[in-house]
Structure 1
Amino acid sequence: MIQTDSDSSKRVAYFYNRFIGKFQYGKEHPMKPKRIIMAHNLIVNYGLFRQMDVYLIREAQLQEIGKFHDPDYIIYLSQFMSQNKINFVKEYCSANNESVIPENLLEEFKLIIKWSQQQKVKTENSEFKVGDSPDNPTFSGLFSYCQLSSGASIDCAHSILTGQADIAINWSGGLHHAKKKEASGFCYINDIVLCILELLRVYVRVLYVDIDCHHGDGVEEAFYLTNRVMTLSFHQYGDDFYPGTGQLNSVGVGVGRYYSVNVPMKPGMSDQPYIEMFKKITSRVMQVYRPDCIVMQCGADSLSLDKLGGFNLSIKGHGACVEYMKSFGIPMILLGGGGYTIQNVSRCWAYETGIALGQQIDQAIPSNDIYYDYYSPDYLLHFPIKQNVENRNKTEDLNKIVATVYDYLSHIENAPGIHFHDVPFSFYPDMDEENEDENKEQMDQKQEVSLNELEQELGISNSSKNEISVQSNSRKIYSKSQQQDL
């Protein structure tokens, strides 16, 4: 059954591109982008997409990514070639005269030679942490994957800033571990930081809330010295759990002191104490900080039965946090994140898409879903959590955490007054010009195939109007106002 709550009037923008789910970190790697496709199929089959404006994700440009990430790191990722391709190019070029080698292969061959000559004791791989461990492998299409994820999160910010949406959703985002010049924890480009930087062009204060089982270290590090962003992370901590940061006394430095809030917990955390503590802390944060916008990372590895996380939350418990943050009635961006039991990740994000729309979904998995068999044996949206799991978080310890956080928050200025000294330039220069620039035309060509595929997937006829959103640069392929035409 789908129940509609009293606040179902929010305008929701949803960003998706089916190509994002076709990248593969590797057969044995726990990160499976396929979960994004699975979540999308549930969103479509539950009919939720009809209540949203649906945008086709575009690729972020290098200049956008460069607002946070190191130029050399971006160049390395953008020019990355898989080892198979390097071997192919080398063999092809050595077997042919340069005059008959296709120009694109010749350029790549020159790049390979250049890298070989420049390699010293410390290779670029080890410097940037890409491909030097099983966590952050190199794979075909790596940079395109990063561009799509980041492009959607940046455009989520624009849909909020321009008043096109009250809530924006990008389940392919939320890659919170990536650092300025290195990959970390399955994350290469930090779409969250890029999203928040764009929001800061207009908003004075942004609140970042992270309910992933792992600490949002990359985002915290990026804003550790500022009071314009408060980072609030609820995560598992201790026993060498990755990434090993996010202790209670990690509160920020300088102007940013007390604007980093960490809520470290032990394994076994269940719904009731988690939600209780979440509401106590976030309500005080909202009261004191009074942000202009909320960016929420909804990592689903805090769910029960996750392959990497140690919490024992249900989908409803996880979703209750999203619902509570929505209740404050300020602009909100929902992003994905971790989650490694993929059928539960897709369930969770479909459920939380419903929450954004003011709908509580409690139906069985639609039998026409192409991933229906993944949800056996019960084929239900809400799966049973583990029983007889020890919650190692004692009530008195949780109360101490809340009291400590309250003490930290008492040191900050209520809704601190910030004067703009430098407003960052837009990521979209010359957007008001009548003629589209070369990058825009290239972006449209890249999206043509995926646009047709997604139209078919959503059941939208070819005659339906497709419009370009001038503000976000993403292609709007379905509008809530079209509902009566379907």
Structure 2
Amino acid sequence: MKPHRLSVVHSLVVNYGLFKKMQIYRPYRASAYDMRRFHSAEYIEFLQRVTPHNIQEFTKSNDVVIAILELLKYHARVLYIDIDVHHGDGVQEAFYLTDRVMTVSFHNYGTDFFPGTGDMYEIGADCGKYYSVNVPLREGIDDHSYYHVFKPVVRYVVEFYQPTVIVMQCGADSLNNDRLGCFNLSIKGHGKCVKFVRNLNIPLLAVGGGGYTLRNVARCWTYETSLLLNEPISNGLPHNEYLEYFAPDFTLHPNVVTKRENANSKQYLKAITRHVYKNLKMIRHSPSVQMQDVPGDLFPGADDASSMMDQMDPDVRISQAEEDRTVEPPNEFYDGDTDQDKPDHPTAPA
């Protein structure tokens, strides 16, 4: 989970010109108070002490939970879709007892595969019963088989749950040739799922996730950025400072070399789909939530920014500096690239 992955993704997005098609918002650096909305105080204290020498002592972070909690201020029903090769156990656990969030995870399942959870019979409990959906898949699943189960499951979930916003975790370790993954998805096949969710025309927050072959993570998330923007991009990569990472083909969609047999039969995938549909029928109606006034933002300066926005004339174009003031709080954090992150040889593995 090297942060350097994001520098390479950013470079491709910029050099394809995709940033010109979107609005850029600069998030403020989360405080300990923000993170304790879900994480324990002990975990936050550990992160404050962590170093490159002991980083292997912890496994996964659940930052997306905090984002969902924020969305629940504005939305009655949040749908979480996870296409990371690993089970979305942290998000499922966070919302296992509530009907405000439905979690749907497509993942490799097995007691010998981390984290060892995500059986199809994990369906939630108490008020959250039937609001956890798990699609446990076997090794080697390809584009056709994956989409064959992804499309109907998501369609059924949306039909029964009627979410008002979707959060999609686009983990790239479900791609073929990932160092830790065991699926045979191509970048186009992975992106087809993202495009399907985008075309539901429901407000969507797309986030990254796992991915341990850096060059393919960058390709995948750049391609999916173009799909979210509905902006076609070329297969030939534009010139960028990390171009040597993508040798020898220098393309967005490299050839997929299948190394694992697809262990997912049509009968198995149909059985999973039927099981999901049967459970969803137990949801008599989508949950009704009494919405309240949205609490104020936690970071300093927000009130000033909001006041400035209220006083602006909508017919007068504001300057870039004024616009930045509305999205960039004083404690913004940015860790720039360093030369030591770049490979020593043009064909060095990412």
With the length of structure 2 as denominator, give the TM-score of the two structures. 0.85
Given the superposition, is the C-alpha separation of residues 397 and 474 from structure 1 closer, same or farther in structure 2, using an over 3 Å criterion?
farther
Residues 27, 327 of structure 2: 8 Å contact kept: no
Matches of 1:244 and 1:362, distance apart in 2: 39
Aligned residues: 320
Identify the residue that residue 8 of structure 2 maps to in structure 1.
Answer: 38
Identify the residue that residue 220 of structure 1 maps to in structure 2.
Answer: 92
Instruction: Identify the match of residue 298 of structure 2 among 428, 451, 468.
Output: 428
Matches of 1:262 and 1:369, distance apart in 2: 39
Residues 235, 264 of structure 1: 8 Å contact kept: yes
Instruction: Identify the match of residue 54 of structure 1 among 24, 42, 64.
Output: 24
Matches of 2:26 and 2:213, distance apart in 1: 26
Q: Which amino acid aligns with 1:47?
A: G
Q: Does 1:297 align with 2:163?
A: no
Given the superposition, is the C-alpha separation of residues 433 and 299 from structure 1 closer, same or farther in structure 2, using an over 3 Å criterion?
closer
Q: Does 1:415 align with 2:271?
A: no
The correspondence of residues 22-101 of structure 1 with structure 2, limited to 5 A, is 31-78=1-48, 80=49, 82=51
Unaligned runs of 5+ in 1: 1-30, 85-130, 137-182, 437-462, 477-486
Shift of 1:75: 3.1
Instruction: Identify the match of residue 221 of structure 2 among 324, 349, 356.
Output: 349
Q: Which amino acid aligns with 1:467?
A: E
The correspondence of residues 124-143 of structure 1 with structure 2, limited to 5 A, is 131=54, 135-136=56-57
The correspondence of residues 77-476 of structure 1 with structure 2, limited to 5 A, is 77-78=47-48, 80=49, 82=51, 131=54, 135-136=56-57, 183=58, 185=59, 187-188=60-61, 190-238=62-110, 240-366=112-238, 368-387=239-258, 389-420=260-291, 425-428=295-298, 433-434=303-304, 465=321, 467-468=323-324, 470=326, 473=329
Given the superposition, is the C-alpha separation of residues 38 and 82 from structure 1 closer, same or farther in structure 2, using an over 3 Å criterion?
closer
Matches of 1:241 and 1:261, distance apart in 2: 19
Residues 191, 224 of structure 2: 8 Å contact kept: yes
Percent sequence identity is 44
Larger C-alpha radius of gyration, 1 or 2? 1
Moved runs in structure 1, 4+ residues, more than 6 A?
none
Shift of 1:191: 1.3
Shift of 1:83: 9.3
Residues 299, 339 of structure 1: 8 Å contact kept: yes
3-state DSSP of counterpart to 1:240? coil
Shift of 1:387: 3.1
Give per-residue Cα distances to partners, 1:51-100, cap 9 Å, x unaligned. 1112334311121111111223323423x16499xxxxxxxxxxxxxxxx
Residues 199, 206 of structure 1: 8 Å contact kept: yes
Residues 301, 330 of structure 2: 8 Å contact kept: no
Given the superposition, is the C-alpha separation of residues 47 and 407 from structure 1 closer, same or farther in structure 2, using an over 3 Å criterion?
same
Q: Alignment RMSD, CA only?
A: 2.5
Residues 35, 342 of structure 1: 8 Å contact kept: yes
Identify the residue that residue 25 of structure 1 maps to in structure 2.
Answer: none
Matches of 1:433 and 1:382, distance apart in 2: 45
Given the superposition, is the C-alpha separation of residues 243 and 318 from structure 1 closer, same or farther in structure 2, using an over 3 Å criterion?
same
Identify the residue that residue 110 of structure 1 maps to in structure 2.
Answer: none
Matches of 1:300 and 1:240, distance apart in 2: 20
Matches of 1:191 and 1:423, distance apart in 2: 24
Shift of 1:209: 0.2
Give per-residue Cα distances to partners, 1:302-356, cap 9 Å, x unaligned. 0001000000001110001110001111111011000001100000000000011
Shift of 1:466: 5.7
Matches of 2:325 and 2:278, distance apart in 1: 45
Give per-residue Cα distances to partners, 1:268-320, cap 9 Å, x unaligned. 00001111210000001000101010000000000001000000001110001
Q: Which amino acid aligns with 1:434?
A: D
Matches of 2:231 and 2:276, distance apart in 1: 32
Residues 63, 427 of structure 1: 8 Å contact kept: no
Unaligned runs of 5+ in 2: 307-318, 333-350
With the length of structure 1 as denominator, give the TM-score of the two structures. 0.62
Given the superposition, is the C-alpha separation of residues 240 and 351 from structure 1 closer, same or farther in structure 2, using an over 3 Å criterion?
same
